[in-house]
Each structure stands twice: as structure tokens, then as C-alpha cells.
């Protein structure tokens, strides 16, 4: 663990760069104007964590970091930072543009000013001490069988023929032949007996068929012969 920390500190120290502003010229009024510091800055690469070193004569110069609005007109009011002691070392902590001037009278106007662009620090990941596990082989999951059984084929359905809605009329029964009533035979006319002193001749009985039946011999008709005649007369009366 101590070796790893020392290695990381070594890499961090090696990443920092010290920039001597103006190199041999130092931080002073440039003879050629502000272009001297502009040319020097264009040849440098500034990264967060780098250090700017300003070398100047105490009491004759100073270094102040100002905003972009104050840099153009060389305004020294409310600087971001101000150092009057040489050498001044300033660590670049943020990325972007940074502006520096000398606050002594007219020094900024005649060229003692510097602007730089700082890039973000590149991060270097320390080597990992944990071995990388081997990649596991791809696992092929078997396809589960379908839980829904295949329904058997339905047999063809034969629809029964519905019975006819019209009922079959039964055959008409044969007409019955009505018997024509036969006229009842006319009752025989009872013989009229006229009183006579002597024996009278028996009456002649005429049948319904027009046949004359002689009376039985032996006098008056018997009672048995008169009963059918009485029934016949009663039947004709109902008709």
C-alpha cells in the first residue's frame, strides 16, 4: 500500500509543471510591449496543477490576478489576488482563462500583463491490484416446453336435420255411410166390428207389404197376436 501511495505521489509531482514567466526576461516592463508575454504564453501548455513563477524586483513591481473586465482597461481595483514579494508562485487550480497585471502606475498599459488558457488535468487511473476474474462462458438457457397443450383436432360435427315444422295431417277417416231409416210399416188397420146379432166374419188383416193375411181360424184374434201390433203403433207414434 505504501508503494502505491508513493507511486501516485510521484505521478502527481511529475504531472506538475513550473512555468517561469518570461523565462530570462522575468516579470518586468517588456521592451517590445505586451507582445513579449503573448509570444511566451503561446509556447507553453498550462494544465490545472501547474505553477506560475513570477520573478521581479521588490518595490518596483507586483503581480495581481484580475478578471477579464479589469484586464482590458488595466483596472487594479478589487483584484482576485495580489502579491508584492518575489518570487511569487501561483498554483493553477481551475481551468479556463487567467489574467495577470502589474498594478504599478502605467506598467500594465505599456505591456506588463499576461493572459493564459489552462486546461483540465488529465486523470491517470492507478493500476488495479485486483485481478480481473475470467469472463464466464455464456450460458445458454434451454427453451422450456410450452405449457399449453395442443388441443386435438375436433371431429367433424354432423348437424341433424331438424324435423319439419308442418305436422302431417292424418288421413281422413272414411265417411261413414249413414243408414237410411226405413219407413216403419204402417200399422194394420184394426177391424171394425159392427154389432150384429149373429156371428160376424173375422176381419181381414192387411200387412204393410200389401198382402192380405186371413185371420186365424177359430174366431177372434188371440192376445199374443195383438201385442206386436200395439208395439208397432207406439213406435209409429214416436216417429
pLDDT tens digit string along 119-160? 997 665 555 555 565 666 556 665 665 556 566 666 555 565
Q: For 173-198, what is each residue's pLDDT tens digit? A: 545 444 444 444 445 444 444 444 44
CB neighbours of 44 closer than 8 A, spacing ≥ 6?
A: 19, 116
Q: Comparing 61 with 2, which gets the higher pLDDT? A: 61
- Output the nine-digit C-alpha cell for 34: 505586451
Characterize the bridge pairing of strands 63-66 and 18-20: unpaired
Q: Which secondary-structure segment (H or E) carries 224? A: helix 223-238
Confidence of residue 96 (pLDDT cuts 50, 70, 90): very high
Tell me, rounded to whole angstroms, the distance of Cα 10 from its chain centroid. 61
What is the pTM (predicted TM-score) of this model?
A: 0.48
Q: Write the CB contacts of 187 (distance below 8 Å, at least 6 apart in sequence).
A: 229, 232, 233, 236
Q: What's the whole-number mean pLDDT along residues 200-206?
A: 51
pLDDT for 204: 53
Q: Could you report the per-residue pLDDT of 33-64, keeping only the tens digit for each?
A: 999 999 999 999 999 999 999 999 999 999 99
- What is the rounded distance in angstroms from the CA atom of residue 96 to the CA atom of residue 40? 18
Confidence of residue 233 (pLDDT cuts 50, 70, 90): confident
- pLDDT exceeds 70 at position 1: no
For residues 63 and 80, what is the distance between their CA atoms, to the nearest angstrom? Answer: 11
According to the CATH classification, is domain 2-119 in 2.60.40.420?
yes
Contacts of 75 (CB under 8 A, 6+ apart): 66, 69
Cell numbers that stand for 151 in this block: 388441443
Query: Rounded distance, CA 19 to CA 17, Å?
Result: 6
- Do residues 230 and 220 touch, judged by C-beta distance below 8 A? no
Amino acid at each position: 500500500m505504501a508503494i502505491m501511495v508513493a507511486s501516485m505521489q510521484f505521478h502527481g509531482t511529475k504531472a506538475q509543471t513550473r512555468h517561469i514567466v518570461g523565462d530570462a526576461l522575468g516579470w518586468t516592463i517588456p521592451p517590445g510591449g505586451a507582445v513579449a508575454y503573448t509570444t511566451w504564453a503561446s509556447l507553453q501548455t498550462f494544465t490545472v496543477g501547474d505553477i506560475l513563477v513570477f520573478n521581479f524586483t521588490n518595490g518596483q513591481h507586483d503581480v495581481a490576478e484580475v478578471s477579464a473586465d479589469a484586464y482590458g482597461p488595466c483596472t487594479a481595483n478589487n483584484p482576485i489576488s495580489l502579491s508584492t514579494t518575489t518570487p511569487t508562485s501561483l498554483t493553477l487550480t481551475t481551468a479556463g482563462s487567467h489574467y495577470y497585471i502589474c498594478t504599478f502606475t502605467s506598467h500594465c498599459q505599456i505591456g506588463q500583463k499576461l493572459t493564459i488558457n489552462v486546461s483540465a488535468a488529465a486523470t491517470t487511473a492507478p493500476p488495479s491490484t485486483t485481478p480481473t476474474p475470467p469472463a464466464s462462458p455464456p450460458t445458454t438457457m434451454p427453451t422450456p416446453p410450452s405449457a399449453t397443450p395442443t388441443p386435438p383436432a375436433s371431429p367433424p360435427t354432423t348437424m341433424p336435420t331438424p324435423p319439419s315444422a308442418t305436422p302431417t295431417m292424418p288421413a281422413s277417416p272414411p265417411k261413414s255411410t249413414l243408414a237410411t231409416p226405413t219407413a216403419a210399416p204402417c200399422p194394420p188397420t184394426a177391424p171394425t166390428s159392427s154389432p150384429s146379432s149373429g156371428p160376424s166374419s173375422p176381419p181381414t188383416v192387411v200387412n204393410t207389404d200389401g198382402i192380405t193375411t186371413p185371420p186365424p181360424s177359430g174366431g177372434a184374434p188371440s192376445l199374443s197376436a195383438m201385442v206386436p201390433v200395439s208395439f208397432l203403433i207406439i213406435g209409429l207414434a214416436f216417429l
